Chains A and B, each alone.
Chain A
């Protein structure tokens, strides 16, 4: 193999599995170390730089980082990254002074944001400090979008939501509440230089089955509509027996909300077996902990209505073939209930965007966009979040918003939107002494800490009682040390190596091998520890000076303990902290570096 180019930021970035998996590329190991040092403000701000809503995401993020976490390969469970994010948020002090604000002199460009959900607010977060005059149009009387109306308060307390949304508005954005945009034509006619659409995917999917529109339809609800009504206090109760159709995360919120406003016998009805559920595993666990029954292999057939009263729902009980592609009906059952909530998905609603404005729409009624720049076919209109490519999640919305903000900024400066600012990195040695490193390199065998919940008997007292209690100090202290510091990289200088084998002998996971070079498939068969994960790169050095062999490292199993660098007599190995320089809007034009650099000195 050719020597690995570790000067390409993407090489070491992929080694930091969590950061690579995060759509917003949050510097996870960096903020976990700050938490370990008790620097909660800094940990929060480092989070905020990339993901904007640490308090919210520390509770309800979809956590793509956790399945990717290297710790899983060591002891089977990822670091509780999301929970630690919440620790930073819960324990931070007043960070208002550390947040950027709008400059006194604006740059004269006006940007309209439609909707005040995570996407629009993230765009505002990036553009307001640059001097843009940002105006947000929000349908409801509060900001937050789906975070407000679709996520129940027992998972996401309103104080957390209020604080993080208000912080952005307070930077100097203008927000008009109760101001739905009913016509794109009218909006475009107003004097805005750019428009960003972050309206989400607000329409719950309908389930057209016999009986859906009969007299009893007052007891049949659409999941996200129903959650919204509960959030605004329009619905305060539900029948004792509730059926939830669908098994995504919205279904989990619906069933758990039902338990809090009158539901006793709450069942979630799934068409397919458990391994095909869309809901996150931890949300399923939390629901089942609240005595919610999840029934598999039941395909809804019709609503059973007699004399204008909903009596139940009829299901086909099905059996699936391998891979759950084709099903066979085994029998039909009627399950009695008082109310039914349909939670089978959501979709975009762009009936307010006139189709003759130059904004093209694709076959699924979603806008035609450039996937990188998020620019629509009308050059000064941009989309982001669920409004762009259909329902995803908050962290994707934030990641897209950062890109859209870069595009809007470049567009309004008259620059080519398709030329993206470069991603950079810094590598800095962490050596402090013979066997000392500036990070906690020792492997800690602590198991993953379990989140404590409010007792079941007390949990349903109020609908806004947050179930998760957050980590206590001891749990935090254990959990932070489970992080393997994947961002502290093993950097190798082949010209210094004397091939004494010290690093190979000391490596506790045998991830190093000195051998003759070969192609990748061949090299992978000759490693000291079997190569079991072809998705993880193998590092190959330049030829070593004495024998011309190469140093090979399987990135899959390295635990970043630094022992190779500690045992190396010639300092051919070094532990160097990798910091990804993610470009944000306006970064390169104003100061030539990240806005947050001057307010946050990282460790």
Chain B
């Protein structure tokens, strides 16, 4: 069976962004995932997001680990830097890359297996360190690449394709993030680009680790009745009480101002995330309220989506470590590694 290709057709009607590129210029190789996989929609949303932000592909670094989700960086922005790491280790590679060159925009793609099973330790520390990156967790509740066993995010009672219910408690990456000190926590659905694209833009603008947990149905192993991560289940149980818009800083704000100032968050690059609607009493800055809200929804069998928690006043890994403003990779080698005599002098200071 040959893999299909998506031809580049020079259609004049496709709009161009500020760089003169069309959305087709932000695509990557052809996806080899199952037809109908939610991950492909996430890929399309990321493609559209970078196109709309007019981001030069050379300023983007895309990273991943192992799994269906981790194949997807190949499928967007063919001109970007990329690293496909060992299973669960995307977080560590991203931390290192970000330490060396803070000037790139990092986007890591992972799955529920890569992040919540083998990679959960690294993910936790990535959150603690607040590494400036977008972390997309394509969450389908099963190990698709190994034929559909339950993953660590499968809900209790959710049934496998063969009808067996899951009995082990799930890990909710948002709850994990709240306890680990993450500064940007959002949830979305692959079938809802209208919500996902603004969230991705806000995540790029956020200074620090931005986690987006995207429910992304596995069309082959987890899209049946009894699944809690199928297209139909999501459409019936998704709660979108928290609606946000992303306003790039260059753009004149033409929407009417929201009354409550707390509901507009100015990102560090000057852009704004505006909460169009939140439930009464909800404060996306208040860790405890957010936790309560998510638990309450979860107990009702509902899946709350949107930008659930954001803290724009925290330090990222570079501020914590007091590193230079420019990328370490641009610091002259002689300064970065001043030689054995300098080392000897340093050691002498500690004697």
Chain A interface (Cβ within 8 Å of chain B)?
Answer: 73-75, 433-435, 442-443, 445, 498-502, 504-506, 508-510, 529-530, 532, 546-547, 557, 559, 561, 563, 566-570
Does B49 have its Cβ within 8 Å of any Cβ on chain A? no
A498 touches B231 (CB 8 A): yes
B232 touches A546 (CB 8 A): yes
Q: Which residues of A contact B324 (CB under 8 A)?
A: none
Does B341 have its Cβ within 8 Å of any Cβ on chain A? no
Please name 12 further chain A to chain B contacts, defined as beta carbons within 8 Å, in addition to the given A508-B7, A510-B23, A568-B36, sorted by A numbering. A433-B1, A435-B2, A442-B5, A498-B36, A500-B231, A501-B40, A501-B190, A502-B35, A502-B37, A505-B40, A529-B14, A566-B4
Does B44 have its Cβ within 8 Å of any Cβ on chain A? yes
Does B235 have its Cβ within 8 Å of any Cβ on chain A? yes
CA distance A155 to B332 in the complex (A): 74
Does B191 have its Cβ within 8 Å of any Cβ on chain A? yes
Q: Which residues of A contact B191 (CB under 8 A)?
A: 499-501
CA distance A433 to B1 in the complex (A): 9
Q: Which residues of A contact B1 (CB under 8 A)?
A: 433-435
A529 touches B13 (CB 8 A): yes
Does B155 have its Cβ within 8 Å of any Cβ on chain A? no
Q: Which residues of A contact B11 (CB under 8 A)?
A: 73-74, 509, 529, 557
A498 touches B232 (CB 8 A): yes
A501 touches B41 (CB 8 A): yes
Q: Which residues of B contact A502 (CB under 8 A)?
A: 35-37, 40-41
Does B176 have its Cβ within 8 Å of any Cβ on chain A? no
Q: Is the interface of B mostly helix, strand, loop or mixed?
A: loop
Q: Which residues of A contact B190 (CB under 8 A)?
A: 501
CA distance A433 to B219 in the complex (A): 19
> Using an 8 Å CB-CB cutoff, how does the interface string of B189-205 with A read, 1 for contact, 0 for none?
01101000000000000
> Using an 8 Å CB-CB cutoff, how does the interface string of B180-219 with A read, 1 for contact, 0 for none?
0000000000110100000000000000000000000101
Given known A-B contacts A502-B41, A529-B11, A508 and B6 have beta carbons under 8 A apart: yes
Q: Which residues of B contact A500 (CB under 8 A)?
A: 36-38, 41, 191, 217, 219, 231
CA distance A501 to B190 in the complex (A): 9
B41 touches A505 (CB 8 A): yes
Does B245 have its Cβ within 8 Å of any Cβ on chain A? no
Does B222 have its Cβ within 8 Å of any Cβ on chain A? no
Q: Which residues of B contact A569 (CB under 8 A)?
A: 34-36, 219
CA distance A338 to B58 in the complex (A): 70
* Interface footprint category on B: 20 to 34
Q: Which residues of B contact A506 (CB under 8 A)?
A: 6, 40
A442 touches B41 (CB 8 A): no
Does B10 have its Cβ within 8 Å of any Cβ on chain A? yes
Q: Which residues of B contact A74 (CB under 8 A)?
A: 9-11
A547 touches B15 (CB 8 A): no
Identify the closest chain B residue to A507 (Cβ): B6
Given known A-B contacts A74-B10, A546-B231, A557-B13, A566 and B41 have beta carbons under 8 A apart: no
Does B337 have its Cβ within 8 Å of any Cβ on chain A? no
A and B contact pairs by CB, cutoff 8 A, 29 listed? A74-B9, A74-B10, A434-B1, A435-B1, A435-B2, A435-B3, A442-B7, A498-B231, A500-B36, A501-B44, A501-B190, A502-B35, A502-B36, A502-B41, A508-B8, A508-B9, A508-B24, A509-B9, A530-B13, A532-B13, A546-B231, A559-B9, A563-B6, A566-B4, A566-B35, A567-B36, A568-B36, A569-B34, A569-B219
Closest CB in chain B relative to A568 CB, distance in Å: 6
| Interface hits, B1-51 → A, CB 8 Å | 1-11, 13-15, 23-24, 34-38, 40-41, 43-44
CA distance A75 to B38 in the complex (A): 33
Q: Which residues of A contact B36 (CB under 8 A)?
A: 498, 500, 502, 567-570
Given known A-B contacts A566-B4, A567-B35, A501 and B13 have beta carbons under 8 A apart: no
A546 touches B235 (CB 8 A): yes
Does B223 have its Cβ within 8 Å of any Cβ on chain A? yes
Identify the closest chain B residue to A74 (Cβ): B9
CA distance A73 to B10 in the complex (A): 9
The 9 A-B pairs of least Cβ separation, nearest first, read A569-B36, A443-B7, A505-B44, A500-B36, A501-B41, A567-B35, A502-B36, A569-B35, A546-B235
CA distance A504 to B35 in the complex (A): 12
Closest CB in chain A relative to B3 CB, distance in Å: 7
CA distance A484 to B158 in the complex (A): 46
Q: Which residues of B contact A433 (CB under 8 A)?
A: 1
Identify the closest chain B residue to A500 (Cβ): B36
CA distance A570 to B224 in the complex (A): 13
Identify the closest chain A residue to B190 (Cβ): A501
CA distance A300 to B2 in the complex (A): 66
Looking at A435, A498, A504, A557, which has the most chain B CB atoms within 10 Å of its CB? Answer: A498
CA distance A559 to B8 in the complex (A): 12
A547 touches B13 (CB 8 A): no
Closest CB in chain B relative to A573 CB, distance in Å: 10
CA distance A218 to B330 in the complex (A): 89
Closest CB in chain B relative to A278 CB, distance in Å: 29
Closest CB in chain B relative to A96 CB, distance in Å: 42
CA distance A508 to B24 in the complex (A): 8
Q: Which residues of B contact A434 (CB under 8 A)?
A: 1
Q: Which residues of A contact B235 (CB under 8 A)?
A: 499, 546-547
Given known A-B contacts A502-B40, A569-B34, A435 and B4 have beta carbons under 8 A apart: yes
Closest CB in chain B relative to A229 CB, distance in Å: 49
